Structure 1
Amino acid sequence: MKKFFAAACAAAFLLSAGCSTVVKTVDHGTECSESKAPVTENEAYEPLNYREQVGMWLPYVRFPDYMQGKSEESFRKSVAKIMEDAAADSVNTVYFHVRPNGDAYYVSELFPKGAYLDGDYDPLAIILEEAHDRGISVHAWINPLRLQTAEQMEKVPDSFIVKKWINAGEPYVKNVNGRWYLDPAYPETVELIENSVSEILENYDVDGVHIDDYFYPTTDTEFDREAFEASGSTELAQWRVDNVNRFVKAMYDTVKEKDTRIVFGISPQGNVDADYSTQYADVIRWGSEAGFCDYIVPQIYFGFENENSPFLPTLKQWEELVDESKAALIIGLAAYKLGREDKWAGEAAELEWINDPDIIKKQIKEVKNSSADGYALYY
């Protein structure tokens, strides 16, 4: 993992010592199988969180590097190295991908074992131990709606609830371009999402729960036509926004019912207009009204010269959108783009991430000078 840090920004983590302020209380109002029961670290565990985050995502796309085909000992060594490097670079919060595609990188009775987990160990338990030993907060990162591909779903045992729904022809699960998704229009899917959060909170000493920008998977009216027609609503877009708000609120409430000190965070895409028009994500409400999230991490994965969403105006937009008394604002930065062409940035900005190796360092400086509470890097 150190190579990712070095390649991204050797001197990028420049937030002042204030970024380590601990928030002990946040008061904002392959085959699938089951594994052994988890063991919680400490029944009296006190959640560790930082309002001013230096965050880092640990996504499932990296799991083959240090999980697939690896023993528990090998996995633990890799995780220890990741955490050592993170701590050395001032990272105080990691978002670990516990459920990326309807599969679980923790012990679950609701979802099958993670596709890249072919060892008989508990990744989340190890992540928690190694991170907490170094004073790093761990947020369980969930994709609430996204499930397995159609091919992967064939291997999922019939005992799991989503597979039962598919086999029974229930409308709660939909196939979009070869991948299954939960349809948030139904109370049954919201209940499953709530139960899945409760399962993690009951069995693990996580400090937070985190979701990113996988909300509605399509704008196609056929995705949820039956439920929409049955609802009596007349405006599809607003109805879908309401559906997303319902399960986001349910997740937040589930977290707070367990422990008000555990935080709930959302990482939507950085383009606000696209949040509404393509994913029906009510980011304005989440950032300005209590009861939806404790922190919001817009993915401002744009260069300064981006023709559609240049970094500085987009950062300013999010500063104005988020009420700091309702949610902390953490800026998501695209370290993974360093040295790569940005084909969606427009012709003039296509090579910005190649021509300017200090772009992340410059963006962190701008974040420090803004009203944001910190930043998080995606490698």
Structure 2
Amino acid sequence: MAYLKKILLFLIIAIISFPGCSKIYWEDKWIYDSFISFPQKQEVKIVSTPPAFLWVDGKYAGKTPLDVELSYIVNQLNLKKQKVKESFGGQKEILDQEQKTENIMGTGKHTFHFKAPGFHDLFLPLEFSVKPGTVPESVKVSLQKKAVSDHIVSCSFKISAEKKDFDDIEKIISDHAITPEIIKNPGIPVLVSDPDRYEQTFSMKLKDSNSFQSLIDTLYSHSKKRHIKLNASEFNIQAKLSTNPEREFRAVWISYIDWPGNQKKPAAQKQSLIKMLDEFKALNFNAVIFHARVEGDALYKSDIEPWSRQLTGTQGIDPGYDPLEFIINEAHKRGMELHAWINPYRVNISIKCSSSLPNAHNHISKTRPEWILNIRMSNNSKCYKMLNPGIPEVIDYLSSITQDIVTKYNVDGIHFDDMFYPYPFKDFNGITWEDSETYKKYKKGDISIQDWRRQNVNQLVKQVNERIKKIKKHVRFGVSPFGVWQKNMPKGINGMSAYDTIYSDALAWLENRSIDYLAPQLYWKIGSSPDYEKLLSWWGQKVKQAQRHIYPGQIVFYVKPGQNTGLTAKPESSQDILDQINLNRENRSINVLGNTLYRAVNIQNKILGTDEFKNMLAKGFYATPALPPSMPWLQNLIPDAPGNVSISIENNSIILKWDKPGSKQDYWKYTVYTANNQDIIDGKSFEDAVHLIAVTGENSISIPKHISMQKGDYLFIKSVSQNNIESRLSEHVRIE
């Protein structure tokens, strides 16, 4: 037995030692090892100053739109050739290595395309090319380009690495990015010659371009330590930002909860409104939706209903001025629209059955008690009082309220919220039998009580719109319905069904062309349940079919720094809201032409929420002014251009003045454009967001200091109709 073992061992050694079972050779190809002469760091400072001025490393580069190409050169490569021992079974062992240096003419470039002031279409494609046959497909690039910008950056790129490295890579991205989305393709080798390497595509949003650069720097540093490859052949880092549109509805709801608060003196109330409007104007909002009728009362001078208790603490007491008239004038001075917000059916804010707040003698609950629908809820401890929508006289009464406002006030719109039939809440599932007697009395034909209720609301919406248009054709009528029309519409959407519970049928209003715009209350995050993105697409498609506009309602009330309220479906961060605005803009093709923010004051009692949120709006999405979109189905008269445009310098400021057009048309708004001499020579169109520097309701303007004007630049004015149609350009003035 021992003899046989010796023979077997001898045979194994002989087989292994036989020349045909292993071979030693030098590889015949030189392969890439590293760059040895390459600029490791290039810093380029790019600054854009609204409206459209660009500096590169402190030198004026021109006005946007403009391409800036920044090139670099690769001088040498380090190549290697390996001596390999290949054993039986194909296993390789590197025995030796030779290196050599080869000169190449590799080039790369970053191209920045600046398209709009303040918030740009910014492209950072990294391109790389070398002499054919010099390097393999995969190369490492170490380069820094820094752009000074405070805007949200969306980017995506591919990384090739071993599987074990991706946990570290994801951690790096998570540390830098805002909610990274990682798209994985596991099990797909990047290079055939390197089967242990896999590729993943990473997509993410970053706070600004500095965050973008920091992420790239960190990834490159990590790649040197762990031999992670960033493939230049597939490496297309693209930081793309949306261009601000010239036309976009940007509105804020000012609720009775936001204003006037504890202020009961006229001067303090006026100052509070001015402070709000100034902040909105500074952020380039162009519309305000002001609560003018809360509970069968009026925040304006009415011969029909009593003064609101919100103004003085007691219903029916004259506050000493007219808030609606005041805010219309102040909004218009700032070039902002004013839409009067009306709660149609609500009679009392308080739902306590033993409410201690008495109504005035001329309140509808006193003058027409038979019109009031009393609903007891929650073990009879709470009561809801509303005008009975099933009574035809109620529809006429509410139509007369809106008719009165449109006749007496220079409002730009009338706005209804979703307070139709009562909302359900704990121990109350909604209206049931309370209006059964009204149903029996007023129904026509064989119609269910549910369809009859929807018909009541539809008739009110239709009649209000018809009366508005008979008085002033340009006044828009909008409604902000609850965000879920009906469960599973679109598929998978849950939540209260407005159609079945509060009898709000927004699709009927669209079909009947009874409204000009919808602002559905989409008060949820993207990707939550219900899902903002799915609902936006569904509503947009319906509005597009009806040839109307949608300005989705977004809730900024809960946005605050550092704390989580536990309302997981509600937007709580600035980024949640900005993502929604970006999504709105991506859906302009389905008539998503703006947005409406709720509320004017957030949970921390700050106007429009956190400073972070307002700064991100100011430097990004709302960095430039915009006009609301015009509505082709309304009055389409082209206004006359302003005349006698003049320019002067006062206290080191550029003052622009003009005369109101001499026609009888009613004007209150103007747009101001700038252009340089080259724009004129080239015949370029400059009537866009890049060149629009102001929207104002006055016939003079001091050019803001942040807008850097140069000698030889031109200024133009346009009149804007009440349907937001612009005139031709005025005669120009030139800065000398």
Deviation at 1:275?
Answer: 1.6
**Does residue 1:131 correspond to 2:334, yes or no?**
no
Q: Give the alignment partner of residue 453 of structure 2, picking from 240, 246, 249.
A: 240
- Greater fraction strand: 2
1:270 counterpart (471, 483, 488): 483
User: Of 503, 520, 528, which residue of structure 2 is paired with 1:306?
Assistant: 528
Look up the match of 1:358: 575
Q: Which amino acid aligns with 2:366?
A: K
Q: Is the 8 A contact 2:461 2:509 kept in 1?
A: no
Deviations 1:23-62 (A, max 9, x none): xxxxxxxxxxxxxxxxxxxxxxxxxxxxx31111000111
1:216 partnered with 2:421: yes
* 8 Å Cα contact 1:294/1:326 also seen in 2: no
Give the Cα–Cα distance (whole angstroms) in 1 for the partners of residues 328 and 151 of structure 2: 27
Question: Is residue 538 of structure 2 the alignment partner of residue 317 of structure 1?
Answer: yes
Question: 1:77/1:289 Cα in 2 relative to 1: closer, same or farther (>3 Å)?
Answer: same
Deviations 1:323-366 (A, max 9, x none): 365311111101112245354xxxxx35x744x44100111000
Contact 2:250 2:596 in 1 (8 A): yes
Q: Output the amino acid matched with 2:414.
A: V
Seen in structure 2, the aligned counterparts of structure 1 residues 246 and 70 have a Cα distance that, compared at 3 Å, is same
Query: Cα deviation per residue 1:278-303 (whole Å; 9 max; x = unaligned)?
Result: 1111111223442x101110111111
Matched residue, 1:178: 383
Distance 1:366 1:96 in 2: 26
Stretches of structure 2 lacking an aligned partner (at least 5 in a row): 1-149, 153-241, 313-318, 376-381, 424-429, 487-496, 600-736
> Retained in 2: the 8 A contact 1:269–1:298?
yes
Counterpart-to-counterpart distance in 2, 1:175 and 1:69: 32
Range that drifts further, 224-233 or 358-367: 224-233
Task: Flag the 1:105–1:130 CA change in 2: closer, same or farther, 3 A.
Answer: same
TM-score, normalising length: structure 1: 0.79
Q: Secondary structure at the match of 2:291?
A: strand
Contact 2:482–2:498 at 8 Å: present in 1 too? yes
Q: 1:256 aligns with which of 466, 469, 486?
A: 469
Report the counterpart of residue 122 of structure 1 in structure 2: 322
- Paired position in structure 2 for 1:341: 565
Separation (CA, whole Å) in 2 of partners of 1:377 and 1:115: 25
2:246 corresponding residue in structure 1: 18
Aligned-pair CA distance for 1:257 = 1.1
Q: CA RMSD in A?
A: 2.3
Q: Which amino acid aligns with 1:245?
A: N
1:16-95 superposed matches below 5 A: 16-19=244-247, 52-65=248-261, 68-95=262-289
Instruction: Provide the rounded CA distance (Å) in 2 between the counterparts of 1:124 and 1:64.
Output: 12
Q: Which runs of at least 4 in structure 1 moved beyond 6 Å after TM superposition? A: none
What SS class does the counterpart of residue 366 from structure 1 fall into?
helix
| One-letter amino acid matched to 2:267 | E
Do the aligned partners of 1:96 and 1:141 also contact (CA within 8 Å) in 2? yes
- 5+ long unaligned stretches in structure 1: 1-9, 20-51, 344-348
Q: Call closer, same or farther: CA 1:289–1:142 in 2, change over 3 Å.
A: same
CA distance in 2, matches of 1:15, 1:55: 19
Partner of 1:283: 506
Shift of 1:154: 6.5
Between stretches 138-147 and 84-93, larger displacement belongs to 84-93
Instruction: Provide the secondary structure at the position in 1 that maps to 2:285.
Output: coil
The one-letter code of the counterpart of 1:203 is K
CA distance in 2, matches of 1:15, 1:178: 50
Q: Determine if contact 2:305/2:362 at 8 Å carries over to the other structure.
A: no
Mapped to 2, the partners of 1:206 and 1:141 lie a distance apart of 10
Q: Deviations over 1:97-142 (max 9, x none)?
A: 0001112100112221111111322111110111010111001100
SS in structure 2 at match of 1:202: helix
Q: 1:353 to 1:220 in 2, by over 3 A?
A: closer
- Determine the structure 2 residue equivalent to 1:198: 403
Which structure exhibits the higher relative contact order, with contacts defined as CA atoms closer than 8 Å and separated by 6 or more residues? Answer: 1
Give secondary structure in 1 for the equivalent of 2:360.
coil
Q: Which letter maps to 2:271? A: K
The CA deviation at 1:220 is 2.4
2:258 partner SS: helix
Q: 1:368 aligns with which of 580, 585, 589?
A: 585
**Alignment-derived partner of residue 171 in structure 2:** none
Contact 2:296 2:363 in 1 (8 A): no
1:157 aligned residue: 360
* Alpha carbons 2:399, 2:463 under 8 Å: kept: yes
Kept in 2: contact 1:288–1:326 (CA 8 A): no
Equivalent residue number for residue 104 of structure 1: 298
Rounded to whole Å, the distance in 1 between the matches of 2:290 and 2:545 is 25
Answer with 106-115 or 244-253: which moved more: 106-115
Deviation of residue 179 (structure 1)? 3.0
In 1, Cα distance between the equivalents of 2:395 and 2:460? 6
- Structure whose alpha-carbon radius of gyration is higher: 2
The alpha-carbon distance between structure 1 residues 127 and 64, as it changes in their structure 2 partners (threshold 3 A), is closer
Secondary structure of the corresponding residue to residue 209 of structure 1 = strand
Q: Larger % of helix: which?
A: 1
Which amino acid in 1 is paired with 2:320?
Answer: D
**Which residue pairs with 1:140 in the alignment?**
340
- The Cα of 1:15 is off from its aligned counterpart by 7.3
Aligned residue type for 1:294: D
